[in-house]
Structure 1
């Protein structure tokens, strides 16, 4: 169905007002596990703790593309199969309007050596699930336990 000029104007106006009055931010995180069942974690330069790799979804970008881009940028990893959606969480620690889309990325390859440290990533590594860094973020710990133990997912990061 083709929109009239007035409908297009009203739609644009509504979306613009909504963006400022009800703006929402959304990011992605990737659960990547190697052949020895070690999990990939990164430590950013701008926040304390270890996290799953990930970041913001850019305007006009879909979540699958964002997780693929973030893995490439942060860890030099390329996906060889589609990421699998695990859940969407509200990240109230950042903002009541922030959400995180968590993907399990079982099919991947190391396409290049990661350029670490850099401006964004201080360190990265694969960690045994029974020997995680002491300062892993609480949200990352919960998500890993939910995935590993197949327990109910809490809706808040």
Structure 2
């Protein structure tokens, strides 16, 4: 298990983590900042210059998961991870990766009233210099912007008037009660190429329905991996029922088949998109999301979908829309039609 202590830079996460070690037998400190420091030493400065923060590197997010798995193979746990995680997509990728490895996460937010927080930052600056002060203060707007999803996702411990020991005691009590447990889908990581089926639904304005998974970054189409012995069309029907609570009266028509080449650490495979047709208003009211898997759904026009989807998924959407308009299925490889 991992106890993730989140909050603003300067909120006292590391200090509270050290106190918490004394209250949870068998626990160990796991600071993902050490992973970041290793990447700063290993990567060329040209690559580091391409990102605003080391957390923006896919390698950091992957190594945070892999390192936790390795540590828990050596230690009884739990691991206490004091790390600001203010981008929801980064949270999805890391917590989803941990869930896929069977590692439970309890997510806590150390909330500090801004006056107290600025005072703590000034105290840290006295030890670390103006660079520390500037770094912490520059990230306050990012923390404020993240508060709506942070407070919904994590268990909040108000620490403004607490000593580090009192904060740790409140955290220990929350851990014992199971607070902050992330109810997140545990999708096993693939060990080879996969076959996946998605379904496109449309509203009266021809906007496409997208869903926001809790276990990976970015928006997606409703759908999932085809199980052994299952036809892709039947998998699409099953996934729509599981993810949206919608029952399709018949197996949907195929729009595209796209072969996704392997790009380590991804194995690639075949990606199919089917036409779910138009959703009328009464059927939209039937949509019921599984909270452990999806947090939201929305209809998006093509230009909006381009901002929400990964480049590969958006390429599939564009060709699926063309296939739907032309009334024929298209065969793609790496998002590019073959024989068109």
TM over 0.5: yes
User: Going by fraction, where is strand more abundant, 1 or 2?
Assistant: 1
Residues 80, 108 of structure 1: 8 Å contact kept: no
1:155 is the counterpart of 2:327: no
1:106 is the counterpart of 2:272: no
Residues 75, 124 of structure 1: 8 Å contact kept: no
Q: CA deviation at 1:130?
A: 3.6
From the CA coordinates, give the structure whose radius of gyration is larger: 2
Of stretches 136-145 and 40-49 in structure 1, the one that deviates more from structure 2 is 136-145
d(CA) in 1 for partners of 2:320, 2:270: 18
Q: CA deviation at 1:24?
A: 4.2
Q: CA deviation at 1:153?
A: 5.5
User: Residue by residue, what CA displacement relative to the aligned partner does 1:63-122 show, whole Å, maximum 9, x if unpaired?
Assistant: 1110001111111222134311122222235314x2212212226673833135x11112
Q: Residue 302 of structure 2 aligns to a residue in which SS?
A: coil
Partner of 1:58: 227
Match of 1:89 among 230, 233, 258: 258
Partner of 2:319: 146
Partner of 1:127: 300
Q: How has the CA–CA distance of structure 1 residues 37 and 77 changed in structure 2, closer, same or farther, with 3 Å as cutoff?
A: same
Partner of 1:137: 310
Partner of 2:109: none
Residues 75, 113 of structure 1: 8 Å contact kept: yes
Q: CA deviation at 1:40?
A: 0.6
Q: How has the CA–CA distance of structure 1 residues 24 and 115 changed in structure 2, closer, same or farther, with 3 Å as cutoff?
A: closer
Which of structures 1 and 2 has the larger relative contact order (alpha carbons within 8 angstroms, sep 6+)? 1
User: Residue by residue, what CA displacement relative to the aligned partner does 1:28-72 show, whole Å, maximum 9, x if unpaired?
Assistant: 111111222120101111211111111111112111110001111
Q: How has the CA–CA distance of structure 1 residues 106 and 75 changed in structure 2, closer, same or farther, with 3 Å as cutoff?
A: same
Partner of 2:203: 34
Unaligned residue ranges in structure 2 (runs of 5+): 1-191, 336-340
d(CA) in 1 for partners of 2:217, 2:230: 27
Residues 82, 107 of structure 1: 8 Å contact kept: no
Of stretches 128-137 and 80-89 in structure 1, the one that deviates more from structure 2 is 128-137
d(CA) in 2 for partners of 1:154, 1:90: 6
How many equivalent residue pairs? 133
Unaligned residue ranges in structure 1 (runs of 5+): 1-22
Q: Residue 90 of structure 1 aligns to a residue in which SS?
A: strand
Q: How has the CA–CA distance of structure 1 residues 35 and 81 changed in structure 2, closer, same or farther, with 3 Å as cutoff?
A: farther
User: Going by fraction, where is helix more abundant, 1 or 2?
Assistant: 2
Q: Residue 61 of structure 1 aligns to a residue in which SS?
A: coil
d(CA) in 1 for partners of 2:322, 2:194: 29
